[in-house]
Chains A and B, each alone.
Chain A
Amino acid sequence: MSSERPVTALAGPRLRHTSGFRLAVSSTVLAVVAAGLVLYLIYYGTVGLINRTIEQQIIEETGEIVDGQSQATPASLVANMREESAEAPHATIMALVEPDGRVIAGNISHPPLVAGWSWYKLRISSEDRKKTELIRGHGVRLADGGLLYVGKDATIFSILRDRMDDVFGISFLTLTMFGVGGGVLLGRGAASRVKDINRTLLQAMAGDFSHRVPRTGRDDEFDHLAKGINVMLERTEILVENIKQTGNEIAHDLRSPMARLRSGLELALIEPDREQLIEAVALSIVQTDQILEIFSSLLRLAQIESGARRSSFTRVDLSGLLENLIETYHLSIETRGRTLLTAITPDLMLQGDSALLTQMLANILQNAEKFTPDGGRISIFAMRCEAGLEIQMEDTGPGIPDSLHATALRRFGRIIDTARTTPGAGLGLPLAVAIAELHGGKLQLEDTAPGLRVRILLPHT
Chain B
Amino acid sequence: MSSYKILLIEDDLKAVNLITTALSLDGHRVTPITDGHAGLLQASMQLWDLLIVDRMLPRIEGLALVKTLREVSVNTPVLFLTALDGIEDRVEGLRAGGDDYLVKPFSVVELLARVEALVRRCHVQKEVQYLQVEDLLLDRMTRSVTRAGQLLALTPREYQILDYMMRLAGQIVTARMLLDNIWNFSFDPGTTVIESHISRLRAKINNTGGELLYTVRGKGYRLGARVV
Contacts and interface: CB of A to CB of B under 8 A. Distances in A.
A9 to B, nearest CB: 42
A328 B189 contact: yes
B157 A285 contact: no
Contact of A296 (B85, B195, B196, B199): B85
A213 to B, nearest CB: 42
Given A285-B107, A358-B185, A366 B190 contact: yes
Contacts of A329: 189, 193
Nearest to B185: A358
A356 B186 CA distance: 9
B193 A328 contact: yes
Interface residues of B, number: 24
Given A282-B218, A327-B157, A331-B200, A303 B187 contact: no
B110 to A, nearest CB: 10
Interface string B162-205: 00000000000000000000011111111011011101100000
B27 interface: no
A362 interface: yes
Given A282-B218, A285-B107, A327-B157, A362 B189 contact: yes
Given A282-B218, A299-B85, A312-B88, A293 B188 contact: yes
B141 to A, nearest CB: 24
B200 A362 contact: no
Nearest to B104: A292
Given A285-B107, A292-B105, A296-B85, A355 B186 contact: yes
Nearest to A327: B157
A320 to B, nearest CB: 13
A300 interface: yes
B87 interface: yes
B93 to A, nearest CB: 15
Contact of B196 (A282, A312, A332, A358): A332
Contact of A332 (B155, B184, B193): B193
Contacts of A369: 190, 192
Interface in A366-396: 366, 369-370
A335 B192 CA distance: 11
A332 B192 contact: yes
A285 B106 CA distance: 11
Nearest to A285: B107
B92 to A, nearest CB: 11
A106 to B, nearest CB: 115
Contacts of A328: 157, 183, 189, 193, 197
Most central of B155, B185, B197 by chain A CB within 10 Å:
B185
B86 A366 contact: no
Interface string B89-124: 000000000000000010100000000000000000
A366 B188 CA distance: 10
Interface string A278-310: 000010010001001100100110010000000
A293 B192 CA distance: 16
A359 interface: yes
B190 to A, nearest CB: 5
A13 to B, nearest CB: 50
Contacts of A327: 155, 157
A366 B185 CA distance: 14
A331 B186 contact: no
A300 B187 CA distance: 10
Contacts of A362: 185, 187, 189
A363 to B, nearest CB: 8
Contacts of B188: 293
B12 to A, nearest CB: 17
30 contacts: A282-B218, A285-B107, A289-B107, A293-B188, A296-B85, A299-B85, A300-B85, A300-B187, A303-B86, A327-B155, A327-B157, A328-B157, A328-B183, A328-B189, A329-B189, A331-B193, A331-B196, A331-B200, A332-B190, A332-B192, A332-B193, A332-B195, A355-B184, A358-B185, A359-B187, A362-B185, A362-B187, A362-B189, A369-B192, A370-B190
Query: Which 8 A-B pairs have CB atoms at the shortest separation, nearest pair first?
Result: A331-B196, A332-B192, A332-B196, A355-B87, A359-B187, A366-B190, A362-B189, A296-B85
Given A327-B157, A332-B196, 16 more contacts: A285-B107, A292-B105, A300-B85, A300-B86, A303-B86, A328-B183, A328-B189, A329-B193, A331-B193, A331-B199, A331-B200, A332-B192, A332-B195, A355-B184, A362-B189, A366-B189
Interface of A: 282, 285, 289, 292-293, 296, 299-300, 303, 312, 327-329, 331-332, 335, 355-356, 358-359, 362, 366, 369-370
